[in-house]
Each structure stands twice: as C-alpha cells, then as structure tokens.
Structure 1
Amino acid sequence: MADDPMHPRDSAPEPYRARSETLQLRRAPKISVFLIAGAGLGILAALILTFAFNGTEAVSRNTGFEYSQTQVFGFIALICIPIGVALGGVVALIFDRASNRRAREVTVEHDAIQIAPDDDRA
C-alpha cells in the first residue's frame, strides 16, 4: 500500500489543525425593522393629515372633481410612506455608524479535523 500513487504518505495532511483569527464583534441594527417602522409612521402621518385638514368638501380647482377622504388619504400616503421609509433608513444608518465605534476585537479559533480515507476499500 506504500507504493500506491493514490495514497502518498509524504503529503498526508495533518489530522487536526487549529488556527486563530482576530475579528471585530459589534451589534448591528436590523435595517428592515427601521424601514418598516418608518413606513408605519408615514401611514400614521398620512392619517393625521387626512383628518386634520378637511379639504374634501369642496370641488378641486385643478381637476374639477370632489375627492372622498379615502382618496385623499391615499394621495397623502403616497407621499408620506416613502418619506417615512427614508427617515427610518437614515436613523438605521446613524445607529449602524454608532455601533462601529463600540466594536470590540475578539480572537476566534477555527478547528479543522480531517478524517483519513478508508484504506480497506476494495
């Protein structure tokens, strides 16, 4: 078996190797949570703006139509939701940058165990 070219004994890997590495550990915010919260605040702002200004009783000077409160809510939501998502993203980025300052370095060890091939194969 020592002369077998498929199983060279000189280049056999070590059965166990360990190496250590230094990494940065930090708590990063989940950006999706901030985006969803921003969208929710945008909907809330659109709802407040819809009922705060009662502009649905008169005919629009620009289009000549009278809009219901649901339509007005939809128009305002089209503006408020993207603004809320953008503001949520900005807040998430600010928290992400702040978490970079509190990052700490840790040493991690990687263990690799290599199993020798079975020599009893036929």
Structure 2
Amino acid sequence: MTDPAPEHIETARLRRSPRYGVFLAVGAALGLLLALILTFAFDGTADTSDAGVTYSTGQVFGFVALACIPIGMAVGITVALILDRRLSRRTRDVLIDHQHVLDEE
C-alpha cells in the first residue's frame, strides 16, 4: 500500500451571486401580469382603428405583452446586477483542503 498523497491547502475567494435566470423569469412574469392589468384597465377594444379594424381583447393583450414582457425582463436583470454588485463586497477567503482518495479493490 502506498502512502496517501500529501494534503494540499489552498485559499479561495467565496461570494454569493444571484441566479440570473430566476430574475429574468420573475421579470417576465411581472411583465405579463402588468400586460394583463393594462389590457383590462384601459378597454380600447370597442374603438375602431384608423384602418377600420377592431381588435379583440386577446389581441390587445398580445400586443401589450409584447412590450411589457421585455421591459419586465430588463427590470429583473437590472435588479440582479445591482444585487450582484452589492453582494460582491461581501467576499471572504476560505481554506480549501484537497484530498485524493484511491479506491483499491
């Protein structure tokens, strides 16, 4: 049996960071909710457009959602970046101990 490898201790910097996908999804959901609220708060479906077309409530919701979802995602990612900047100040150094395990059968 051979001697185990010597221990190797290193220093690493540890910090927390937000999960950007979660912030994008929450921003998109809030944008969708805002589109739903705006669709029913300002009922413009009874009006006829200049081209003589009348839009249904679903179509108006789709048009408003096309604008609100990207805006909500942009707000979400901005909040994530601000949190990332604030959390980067709280970094700390930790010691990491590398161990090599040999499986002998």
TM-score, normalised via structure 1 length = 0.77
Separation in structure 2 between the aligned mates of residue 58 and residue 96 of structure 1, nearest angstrom: 46
Offset, 1:15: 3.5
Separation in structure 1 between the aligned mates of residue 35 and residue 54 of structure 2, nearest angstrom: 19
Equivalence map 1:73-88=2 (5 Å): 73-88=61-76
SS in 2 for 1:22: strand
Q: Is the contact between residue 58 and residue 66 of structure 1 (CA under 8 Å) also seen in structure 2? A: yes
Q: Which runs of 5+ in 2 are unaligned?
A: none
Aligned counterpart in structure 2 of residue 43 of structure 1, from 28, 32, 56: 32
TM-score, normalised via structure 2 length = 0.88
Q: Which of the two has greater helix per residue? A: 2
Between structure 1 and structure 2, the one with the greater Rg is 1
Offset, 1:21: 1.0
Q: Is the contact between residue 24 and residue 104 of structure 1 (CA under 8 Å) also seen in structure 2? A: yes
Q: Is the contact between residue 25 and residue 105 of structure 1 (CA under 8 Å) also seen in structure 2? A: yes
SS in 2 for 1:109: strand
Aligned counterpart in structure 1 of residue 59 of structure 2, from 44, 47, 71: 71
Q: Which residue of 2 aligns with 1:119?
A: none
Q: Is the contact between residue 25 and residue 104 of structure 1 (CA under 8 Å) also seen in structure 2? A: yes
Is 2:80 aligned against 1:92? yes
Structure number with higher relative contact order (C-alpha < 8 Å, ≥ 6 residues apart): 2
Between the two proteins, the alignment pairs up a number of residues equal to 104
Q: Which runs of 5+ in 1 are unaligned?
A: 1-12, 117-122
Q: Percent identity?
A: 52
